[in-house]
Amino acid sequence: MSTPFDLTGRRALVTGANTGIGQAIAVGLAQAGAEVICAGRRACDETVAMIADVGGTASSMLVDFTDPMAGQGLFDDQPIDILINNAGIIRRNDAVDFTEADWDAVMDVNLKALFFTTQAFARAVLARGGTGRVVNIASLLSFQGGIRVPSYTASKHGVAGLTKLLANEWAAKGINVNAVAPGYIETNNTEALRADPDRNRAILERIPAGRWGAASDIAGAAVYLCTPAAGYVHGAVLNVDGGWLAR
């Protein structure tokens, strides 16, 4: 019996699926029944193997989103129903020392590539008269300022804004656009924070749940937004943060 949380028959593309949050979302989508295409600038073989282990179907492709237009041709030859925009990078430095190169690198991947990949996805969905789901990976820094990550903060504020704009334009056309805003999750991006005893302690003291999040904590929220259960959800930025923003 199908349920409102069943993705059987749907095809999903997850960017940055080789590790961390993207990998967890890819596995979660497969467990819900979707066929998953795992895209990353490095091989996603591990993710594909994990999906096979849970009885799912997946394939891998190399896509380097440091070229903001790299996603333009991804939807030409294959119908994709779900797009997860997870690919992202971060650069850390004091604002007074931040370089133009680090600014541009982060904005290109986190915001420009996200927009133009999503544009290509929507054009393909609308051309075939279908329906689609887009889930962008935002951040707590879509709501807050943070420190020492100016381009990352700017890009994630932009992701939240684009999520709402695209939802406004496409909700009546059969495309749901939403975002998940992870809190402090154990991934490569947060390794430096977890390795700093003072920062690690300060972060944990602020999280009501009392722990760093796991990538799997984000997967459930992202999968939900792709299912029929979220059919009337448009333009939401769902924070999954252990209660951080409620503090």
Answer whether residue 151 is part of any domain.
yes
- C-alpha distance across the termini of the chain, in Å: 40
From the CB of residue 216, how many other CB atoms can be counted at a distance below 10 Å? 14
Q: How far is CA 89 from the centre of its chain?
A: 12
Top pLDDT among 188 and 149 is at 149
As a whole-number percent, the residues of the chain with pLDDT over 90 amount to 96
Q: What pLDDT does residue 37 have?
A: 98
Q: How far is CA 47 from the centre of its chain?
A: 16
Q: Tell whether the model's pLDDT for residue 1 goes beyond 60.
A: no
Catalytic residues: 152
Q: Where would I find the beta strands (DSSP E) of 103-220?
A: 132-137, 175-182
CB of 35 within 8 A of CB of 11? yes
Answer whether residue 1 is part of any domain.
no
As a whole-number percent, the residues of the chain with pLDDT over 70 amount to 100
Answer whether residue 30 is part of any domain.
yes
Contacts with 46 (C-beta within 8 Å, 6 or more apart), sequence order: 18, 19, 23
Answer whether residue 149 is part of any domain.
yes
**Residue 89: which of 18, 134, 151, 12 has the closest Cα?**
151
> pLDDT by residue (tens digit) across 50-101?
999 999 999 999 999 999 999 999 999 889 999 999 999 999 999 999 999 9
Answer whether residue 60 is part of any domain.
yes
CB of 119 within 8 A of CB of 69? no
Note the pTM of the prediction, 2 decimals: 0.96
CA gyration radius for the chain? 17
Answer whether residue 96 is part of any domain.
yes
Q: What pLDDT does residue 190 have?
A: 87
> pLDDT by residue (tens digit) across 167-205?
999 999 999 999 999 999 998 878 888 999 999 999 999
Answer whether residue 4 is part of any domain.
no
Answer whether residue 18 is part of any domain.
yes
CB of 56 within 8 A of CB of 45? no
26: exposed, middle or buried (C-beta count within 10 Å: 0-12, 13-18, 19+)? buried
Distance CA 212, CA 175 (A): 32
Strand pairing report for 57-62 and 35-40: parallel
Degrees to nearest 5, angle at CA 178 with 144 and 7:
140
CB of 24 within 8 A of CB of 219? yes
Look up the CATH number of the domain holding residue 156.
3.40.50.720
Q: Tell whether the model's pLDDT for residue 15 goes beyond 70.
A: yes
User: Average pLDDT, whole number, for the chain?
Assistant: 97
- In the chain, the number of structural domains is 1
> pLDDT by residue (tens digit) across 216-242?
999 999 999 999 999 999 999 999 999
Domain residues for the domain of 103 are: 11-246
